[in-house]
Amino acid sequence: METKAGDPGAFAHFDLNRVPSPAFVVDEVAVRRNLEILADVKRRSGAKVLLALKAFSMWSLAPLIDEYLDGYCASGLWEARLAKQHYRGPISTYSPAYKAEDLAELCQISEHITFNNPAHLERWITEYNQNNIFDTCELGLRINPEIALGETEKYDPSQPHSRLGFPISQLEPDHFRHLSGIHCHNLCEQGFDALERTWAKIEPIIAPHYGDLQWINLGGGHHITRDDYDREALVGFLKDLRAKSGCDIYLEPGEAVALDAGILVGEILDVFDNGMPVGITDISATCHMPDVIEAPYRPAMLGEQPEGDVIRLGGPSCLAGDVIGDYILPDEPHVGQRIAFLDQAHYSMVKTNTFNGVPLPSIWLWNSESDALKCVKTFDWTAFQDRLS
């Protein structure tokens, strides 16, 4: 999977030695720039934009994000609690399934609750709604458009036998009777063309029910803040859909909020030869950038050179596959050398783990205009201890 971002922006001039290693550094100016683009799209189109917390949950930036967006979407109780505690604005929650002990609280703090299939929704309504828990929120259904457009199958919601969303080919008129809205998330780091193709598959089936619906949620995966995204086409599409459907239209970008807004700083701990130069860093792919292994993909490096000697970089864990990738470094590889990987504000921070007791990166907030730099969060070894018993 090829990364769709990796513009160093102001980080091209950031001194990597200003922070301890490893560390995430987020440029609040870059985040604001992304938010301004999203706010312009929603202003001109009339659509509503929610932050997908699954991608970017840096709640220290909540006051900034609250200025621009209309609310937040959660993937379960803990994300919803985070949104309720730290952010302003309504919360929309979707999960492939719900536990009884979670759903009552979710209904209290969420404006929308979206279910994964009609049978699951019916079961909750008939068996578990004795206290009328759904009276305080609107109900939605996630549909699966059954059109696979993703670059990597395991990240594609429309992959064969997907667990995400109700197959649109099975949708019946009776399935709309409890619904206020329809939710569809079919994209991953994609442009407007993928949204257009997805909706062309959905609209003939949904259009007869426009009068029954109050909202349509087009999910996330829209790379709206990328330079090559066709935002004019998106604005026109959203305005047209609002007019035809009479519904509120929602987008749930997460990655687009933090695109090219953060780096992960690390340090080379050792260099040796094993048929090629190998560098051990204090950045672990499996602990700090798990998508490098799961996708897989190769993160862009700050200052990587087009020519020179290639070195393979990997992490300090005992996992044989803890390999970040092969790079041509800005300088001759040496112990103590600082490096940084680009576009790490989204997904990387929310997916970090302490496998093998590998320390978690600290989190720093930088203002590239004023050059102010502050530490937002540090972790000691108790972050590892307290997860265990």
pLDDT tens-place string over residues 216-255: 999 999 999 999 999 999 999 999 999 999 999 999 999 9
Pick the CATH number of 46-258 from 3.20.20.10, 3.20.20.60, 3.40.50.150, 3.65.10.10: 3.20.20.10
Pick the CATH number of 9-25+261-385 from 3.40.50.300, 2.40.37.10, 3.20.20.150, 3.40.50.970: 2.40.37.10
Rg (CA), the chain: 22
What is the sign, positive or negative, of the torsion defined by CA atoms of 286, 80, 138, 197? negative
Cα–Cα–Cα angle for 259, 260, 262, rounded to 5 degrees:
105
C-beta separation of 91 from 71 below 8 A: yes
Strand partners, 67: none
C-beta separation of 237 from 269 below 8 A: no
The pTM of the whole model exceeds 0.85:
yes
pLDDT tens-place string over residues 129-142: 656 778 889 999 99
C-beta separation of 281 from 313 below 8 A: yes
pLDDT tens-place string over residues 289-328: 999 999 999 999 999 999 999 999 999 999 999 999 999 9
CA atoms of 185 and 343, how far apart (whole Å):
22
Ordered by start, the domain boundaries in the chain are 9-25+261-385, 46-258
